[in-house]
Structure 1
Amino acid sequence: MMKWGQAAAAAFQFLSRFPVNVSLDYSPTLFRQSVKFYPLVGAAIGLVVWAGAAGFAYLLPALPAAVLTLILWVGLTGGLHLDGWMDTADGVLSYRSREQMLDIMKDSRVGAMGVLACVLLLILKLSLIYSLLIDGFNYSGLLLLPLIWSRWFMVHAMSSWPMARGKDGLAGGNFHGLSRGQVWGTFLLATLLSGVAVAILPLLRTDSVVWTTALLGFITLPLASWAAGTWMARKLNTTLGGLTGDTYGALNEFVEVVALLTLVLLLNHM
């Protein structure tokens, strides 16, 4: 398999539960090469979530449709980013020393703060999905955009903030040394994928509100994702002295929710 194919397969194996049955020799180089495909993984998950949400909303009332959509969403990621969100909450909200926070985040057990943070996040995400599905499956395609931009921001975070554990751990050992060129390349891919999604939406649904919201989302979501993610990353960097693999997952979840919230706000003002 060519190098780009191995990198793409590594991205799908690492970030999703798609059945990519390829044997790979994982190395720091392969991990760094794989990040350029993170938005593509997000788009692939988004397509399945979109299809699932449209089907659920067609067959069921909005609330059970939203619940099933969220279950599908989490299932496709294997809960990877939620695990990072919970571990980060357990560490940061313990209000201990930096070293103790990092030790808590390494613990495989989930504490009270992690559970609370997960429950509140899922409730918020469920309510936002419900808001997009309440009028049927018309707006289900908008779910694509948050999945793309949240995964771009993880790459941006890897390049922009130091590793809390240096070269130890998953983050420092495998993602240290990303170039700005990789980040910009990933940004261009995310922009292209978002543009394709926005272009497809009106072909599948002629509702002008859908297209207008998608177009505004195409413009505002990159900025909203960058602003929200940067704010949280700076807070984590100040608290922990850098970022970790867990915080990348937490950032992904946070940016997803902010992007969903942005879309709902846009819809409410159409």
Structure 2
Amino acid sequence: MENEPTPHSMPTERDSGSWRPGGTSYGSVSRGRQAPGAQSPRGPKWRPSLSPTNTSLGEQYAEFVAAVQFLSVLPVPSRSGRAPQSTQDASTSSQTRIGAAYFPIVGLIFSLLLWLVTWILGFRLPHLALTALCVVGLVILTGGLHLDGLMDSCDGLLGGRTRERKLEIMRDSRVGSFGVLGGICALLLKWAFLGSISGAHLVPSLMLTLVLGRWAMLLALYVFPNARTSGLGVSYRQVVTRGQVLQAGVISLVIALIVGAWLASGLGLLIGLLIWVCAGICALLFGNWINAQIGGLTGDSYGAIEEFTEVVLLLVLALF
């Protein structure tokens, strides 16, 4: 027939852009031959897509970078050479990363850096001076992030009478007497407990404390509701998934078991497991108390739980 298309002019799945081996569509990008004069879908900005493995590795590295930059002042470059999105814009963006799964790894990095300090200066300084440097060094590495949360929480939880007043005080950037006292007590107790731990056990104790303190903070963030309907604490909780919490829990448990075996050859694994459980109990008990006071947790509460867990774990390790 005159108008009947020839086999070569018949449209096919390949030419329509919906064909791919196995029958799954790629979308509107044609995989067939381009018509004369048509613009190639592979324009000047086209890049070959990453394989699923590379994409996964890239995402995990981005999560790791986000965790380091969220919890510390350490400069860590991203794969693109640019820093991830600032967490200070979290309240206006649903794409904020905080790298929750890698919180324990950040604690491990802190302990390794402090180990380096003790190794360099340990030949000249006494034990108490080294432990003081560790306490101060940790404040510097974190930018005082968790300590600030502890101080604000002490002001609000101990200085307010009603839930609304407590939340109002915690939002105030000024530090009151309860906050100053809480911060001083936390620093003094850390120094005292670290000073009570022998030099041979100082580094593994730091590893356990710093890794599990951040695991406890993440556990509380996931378990307890938010005290407010908006703010950074709400945004943080929105981007944390159960998978990230489980991944962080497994990472922290493995580190605890390895470091526990380092601390004691016989019962090391049991010690590591008990310390890991103790960190979880601290998060749940202290988080439950804060939840009863203000009907949930805030961003400051997470820092307070982290600091509280560190102090309790150092006390337990000092008793061994």
Indicate the RMSD between aligned Cα atoms, in angstroms.
Answer: 2.0
The answer to whether residue 203 in structure 2 is matched with residue 140 in structure 1 is: yes
Partner of 1:194: 256
Equivalent of 2:299 in 217, 227, 245: 245
Report the Cα offset of residue 197 of structure 1.
3.6
Task: Give the counterpart letter for 1:181 in structure 2.
Answer: G
Task: Give the counterpart letter for 1:147 in structure 2.
Answer: L
The answer to whether residue 312 in structure 2 is matched with residue 261 in structure 1 is: no
Partner of 1:23: 83
Partner of 1:205: none
The answer to whether residue 144 in structure 2 is matched with residue 79 in structure 1 is: yes
What is the aligned-residue identity percentage?
35
Residue 58 of structure 1 aligns to a residue whose secondary structure is coil
Alignment check: 8 A CA contact 2:283 2:305 kept: yes
Report the Cα offset of residue 140 of structure 1.
2.6
Scaled by the length of structure 2, what TM-score is found?
A: 0.74
Report the Cα offset of residue 108 of structure 1.
1.0
Unaligned runs of 5+ in 1: 202-208
Alignment of 1:153-192 (within 5 A): 153-166=216-229, 168-176=230-238, 178-192=240-254
Alignment check: 8 A CA contact 1:150 1:255 kept: yes
Alignment check: 8 A CA contact 2:74 2:141 kept: yes
RCO comparison, higher one (Cα < 8 Å, 6+): 1
Task: Give the counterpart letter for 2:166 in structure 1.
Answer: M
Partner of 2:160: 95
The answer to whether residue 272 in structure 2 is matched with residue 218 in structure 1 is: yes
Larger radius of gyration: 2
Q: 1:23 to 1:231 in 2, by over 3 A?
A: same
Unaligned runs of 5+ in 2: 1-54, 87-92
Report the Cα offset of residue 264 of structure 1.
1.0
Report the Cα offset of residue 137 of structure 1.
4.3
Q: How many residues align?
A: 254
Larger displacement relative to structure 2 (104-113 or 210-219): 210-219
Alignment check: 8 A CA contact 1:84 1:245 kept: yes
Equivalent of 1:44 in 88, 103, 109: 109
Work out the CA distance in 2 between the residues paired with 1:228 and 1:48. 26
Residue 31 of structure 1 aligns to a residue whose secondary structure is coil
